[in-house]
A and B are shown apart, each in its own frame.
Chain A
């Protein structure tokens, strides 16, 4: 099994999985919060927030990566702050790759969760509050279980997007084997080396396999959760 992929290829695969996992996990709380705000909130600037959230979806990924470089690079306003105060360095580190993947995947996650929230029957929540529940209780025990399939779908979508993220990653954290060379970066690099076609093809196959497995798992989990909520 270990002979299927060379060490460099294994590095790329495990890095991609790590980056995608953390990107998804870390964007879940803000993703749910923003989806709630967009679905239910009635505040000034709601459309601006909506536009901002969707920006990474519309802009060329290289532009998003460049903006991240300007803001979060070692010389950037946020990046230098993070480094001075918390010792967190994002430029040229896998943590930067996580940020790039999270930013690119965020709009997809928010859209999926927002759809789920909008599908919740508000009468259920109203019923809970007439029975004396405060908003936090209602959210945790009524809304959240109802939107769980949507959250899972959003998370899987974000994970898949994070696995495939390339343009913003290579622009922000460049291509460092073992540190920021994710699966797409590795495929890109192999394609440019004479005779690298075989490695590129192997890695492409791995990407497809991971995607199919992720999709299958998400379908199973989502339908199990949906069944449980419907009481069956």
Chain B
């Protein structure tokens, strides 16, 4: 019995030591880590594949609500690039001196829309007197978290400026990020939701029934920047430049984003 015990310990020790000796994974020597807003998933998947093929560098992308990503970067997460769905979260990082100021640029524009479950749905005229609460009935309005995730913040701002927020607030189901809200409507669990126009295009099971007027919320701008602590600054800058290339522009526009022309070189 003692011999068996010793054998077991020997095997466990060997396994543990071999795990420790394994080469490091995702932080590959010439790869980069991109933190990107959840709504960019479809477009960035294509763009990163194209860039990897072109340059031979690896890219790992983490998609989540911009708020969560920004907080992770504040806590020292090993990101090389951050693409946020609103300017506020990028400003937070800039204030903490966590980004390379010179690399910051505004990449894309987007719109928020009201979506309904199903392949066809009755259009809704989004205006001040809209009885959205009545439209919802006993169903919920799926949105991203309204106090932190940009899609939720824009949605709440739009509803507030239209005077609809107070009536609708008890009916809102806050999801972790805009894609989770989209999934709730796509599944039919929530009859309506507020997501980006680009998200609505990404799912077959939802229909855009109305677009929020641009003046009801702050402009939806996606800034991107290289993280100050990045150990891969050259490669990261290369990727950032690629985001303004024709290939990337096509991918973004195919999803419905509006590409912001890069400012003329200074």
A interface with B by C-beta (< 8 Å): 69, 73-75, 91-92, 170, 174-178, 189, 191-194
Contact = CB atoms under 8 A, between A and B. Distances in A.
A192 B67 contact: yes
Contacts of A175: 145, 173-176
Given A175-B176, A176-B173, A191 B71 contact: yes
Closest 4 CB pairs of A and B: A192-B148, A192-B67, A175-B174, A174-B173
B214 interface: no
B68 interface: yes
B121 to A, nearest CB: 16
A193 B146 CA distance: 10
Nearest to A172: B189
B149 A69 contact: no
A176 B175 CA distance: 9
Nearest to A91: B189
Contact of A170 (B65, B148, B176): B176
B119 interface: no
A75 B176 contact: no
Contact of B175 (A74, A174, A191): A174
Contact of A192 (B149, B172, B173, B184): B149
B65 A194 contact: no
Contacts of A74: 188-189
B12 interface: no
Nearest to B68: A192
A92 B140 contact: yes
B187 A69 contact: yes
13 contacts: A74-B188, A92-B190, A170-B176, A174-B175, A175-B173, A175-B174, A175-B176, A176-B173, A176-B174, A177-B174, A189-B147, A192-B71, A192-B149
B147 A174 contact: no
Nearest to A185: B174
B55 to A, nearest CB: 33
Contacts of A176: 140, 172-174
Contacts of A75: 187-189
B188 A189 contact: no
A170 B254 CA distance: 32
B173 A92 contact: yes
A191 B65 CA distance: 12
Interface residues of B, number: 23
A193 B174 contact: no
Interface string B176-187: 100010001001
A108 B65 CA distance: 32
Nearest to B95: A194
A73 B149 CA distance: 24
A70 to B, nearest CB: 8
A91 B175 CA distance: 13
B92 interface: yes
B148 to A, nearest CB: 4
Contacts of A178: 170
Nearest to A62: B176
Nearest to B184: A174
Nearest to A178: B170
Interface string B140-177: 10100101110000000000000000000010111110
Nearest to A189: B145
A131 B67 CA distance: 68
Given A73-B189, A75-B189, A192 B145 contact: yes
Contact of B187 (A73, A170, A177, A194): A73
Given A175-B173, A192-B65, A194-B92, 11 more contacts: A69-B189, A92-B190, A174-B142, A174-B173, A174-B176, A176-B140, A176-B173, A192-B68, A192-B71, A192-B147, A193-B148
A60 to B, nearest CB: 14
B47 to A, nearest CB: 26
A189 B153 CA distance: 13
A69 B187 CA distance: 9
Nearest to B142: A174
B173 to A, nearest CB: 4
Most chain B Cβ neighbours within 10 Å, of A73, A174, A189, A193: A174
Nearest to A194: B92
B198 to A, nearest CB: 22
